[in-house]
Amino acid sequence: MNSAVRPRGPRLPTLGLGTAPLGFLYEPVDDEQAAATIARALEGGVSYLDTAPGYGLGVAEARVGRALRSADPGVIVSTKVGRVLTEPAGPFTPPFPGAPRLRARFDFSRDGILRSLEDSLRRLGTDRVDVVYLHDPDDHEDEVYRSAYPTLARLREEKVVGAIGVGMNQSAMPARFVSRLDLDLVLLAGRYSLLDHSAITDLLPACARRGVGVVVGGVFNSGILVDPGPHARYAYSPASDDELARALRVREVCRRHGVPMSTAAMRFPLGDPAVVSVLVGMRSPAEVAANLAAFGHPVPDDLWSELRAEGLLAPDTPTPTTGAPPGLTPVGQSPHEGASDRASDAASDKENVA
């Protein structure tokens, strides 16, 4: 990792807001609570909002769009393409109460990418977006090379989008994309956490070599790294006995050092030089306040050393330096470099890839 190139793309705050919970992930959230959640995040310096058409069938994007109308300049927004929302032709059972009468289908064709982005821009109420990720193309790798990536690259050239990348729940395929394509960012969900270090063998070294920034989502692994109780989830499913046992061991180490488990979970990925930000899904102002407090809690080096000694981290796993993390400035309280300027500067000196 010592040969890492400075990550490109927009300069992100070290903590971002994932809006899947504002799109009815696990439980409903009303418009008022969603607006208050985003407002509290922006007040606390969480000025990066990640959303997607698939989060509540457009509901999360629309809520982000409404929040942006009254937000100060400087908020960075990412959304995703690869799923197109369409009206069902026949009988329809809503996936959650009050859901729009829409279905999501994968489409990584040129027309699908353009339609997906056009619809997202309409819901967001803007004519451009800072970052666009290809969303979960696990079964569509050939289409990424053939149509999806060329379409996004052209949109980046036309400055309709500031930066482009891929967002996935695995590390192997994104590592191939990083090696073959001219990406700015990778959003990696759930594969670089205190319980899953798989990305350290392929994706993170590839990104470090190419100067591609990594945004890590799913740092709590669906909640087990916050509350490892008997009903904990891991990777969106009930946790196994082994997963729960390892999470409980991590919690005991954190307790011995007086550090909240959620603090260690959020801060751990930032030890890798390719990681530029972590995304945390939050559904209420209270959750935002709690996560901000935990994120800023000091973490002694001895905690990481004990996790290594316990076999919970490999000996050569990079870990953060002692102290509280930098990178959170409340929006509107200081000058904020425009994301489009950063993306343009990054594009001007990126490598040319055949």
The residues assigned a catalytic role are 55
Two tokens, residue 150: 């060329």
Taking the C-alpha atoms of residue 299 and residue 219, their distance in angstroms, rounded to an integer, is: 16
Q: How many CB atoms lie within 10 A of CB 23?
A: 26
> 219, 286, 289: which is closest to 44 by C-alpha?
289
Taking the C-alpha atoms of residue 201 and residue 294, their distance in angstroms, rounded to an integer, is: 28
Confirm if 256 and 246 have CB atoms less than 8 A apart: no
Could you tell me the end-to-end alpha-carbon distance of the chain, in angstroms, rounded to an integer?
A: 24
Taking the C-alpha atoms of residue 48 and residue 198, their distance in angstroms, rounded to an integer, is: 25
Question: 125 in the Ramachandran plot: left (φ > 0), alpha (ψ -120 to 50) or beta?
Answer: left
The 8-class DSSP code of residue 146 comes to I
